[in-house]
Chains A and B, each alone.
Chain A
């Protein structure tokens, strides 16, 4: 319960920051995609199942604040959380740059997938070039924010993780 509340607070804070602070500080006209960042980091830290659930919840929260059909971002972030969580299990490098790389790559892939789903539903606002530009810029922005966001999110994950108790 405590864990769920902590991650809900993270999602609400990210949504607030994205629609207020980062609406004023854009990178080449693009905002960061903080829901993608939160999903990728959650999947990295907690695995594919938590990544998928977190992605679905964060996506639904963002969808409810958009005019697009509710469920597109949820679908995209569910897949993103699952894929990143699964891939992470096979990566053994101790590189401190790993979160930044995964967030960057995950955001590009996620935004392009969002564009594909939106295109299938006839809701893509622009051409492929525009989509690619937004994907790259928001991925770069997310990657820049990761060194700050990752330690905070890891702390949230560690302090709210269920601890195993061994009884003798």
Chain B
């Protein structure tokens, strides 16, 4: 009886100690910020996990396509073993070729985009996602050794993806524009009216206009403005990167301003090849300016 009581008591003390340790970790992390000891430890673990995630992703991607193909063809089970193996091998190869073709096409479009805007672009592959359900971030296979630094914008052929928030030696974490912590300074392509675009998880992004009187129509294109509103809001992204199109426009509950929802151009469920903007060269003057 006394032994049981002692064991229960020591377990409770242990749990109490662990809870205190958790609270200390939360406090130290909140106070230390990006350069604090907890963030440094996090980068250490990220540096270890990066190559592992890259390795697993390289194995999983073709198998994922292969499994999908197999699920779509039930009649294969009735054929003889040799034939099945042959078909499976061919499908695996086809899946790999398709994956490479898609990656090639995406890279071509991506570098076309970089030429138009004068970006210096570094191609990267998405290897993993943040593990939790409450964070919208991906891991890419380029890191500090490749010259990636925090706050570099990330795009793909369709438009803006997000920005780098953490850098490890061989990989980096990119916060997607879907994350509620993400705020991008944007403008309407047609009118140039500005605002801030905030992530809303899988829902369309929320566009907070600076001028509440602005007229907005569904279908209007939204692009980055390259404009900094205040510390921490915007200013990271170069101007004129396509972000999305206006999905809906409704008065907000207070009726004082508009609630504009923007559907991102990027399909985040199929994110694989991206480009990290490492710099921007000055663009040549437009041709019509020379002719006049």
Contact = CB atoms under 8 A, between A and B. Distances in A.
Contact of B19 (A48, A66, A78): A78
Interface stretch (B24-32, B74-82, B210-218, B222-230): B24-32
A160 interface: no
Contacts of B128: 19-20, 23
B19 A20 contact: no
Contacts, number: 148
Interface residues of B, number: 48
A104 to B, nearest CB: 16
Contacts of A126: 134, 180, 201
A156 B57 CA distance: 25
A5 interface: no
A33 B42 contact: no
A78 B42 CA distance: 19
**Could you tell me the dominant secondary structure of chain A's interface residues?**
helix
B18 A52 contact: yes
Given A20-B127, A20-B128, A125 B181 contact: yes
A79 interface: yes
Interface string B12-44: 001100110111111011100000001101100
Contact of B45 (A49, A64, A67): A64
Interface of A: 12, 15-21, 23-25, 29-31, 33, 35, 48-49, 52-53, 56, 59-75, 78-79, 82, 111, 114, 118, 121, 124-126, 130, 134, 138
Q: Which 3 A-B pairs have the closest CB atoms?
A: A71-B25, A75-B22, A23-B129
Given A12-B49, A35-B131, A71-B38, 11 more contacts: A19-B139, A49-B10, A62-B131, A65-B42, A67-B166, A70-B38, A114-B134, A121-B26, A125-B179, A125-B201, A126-B180
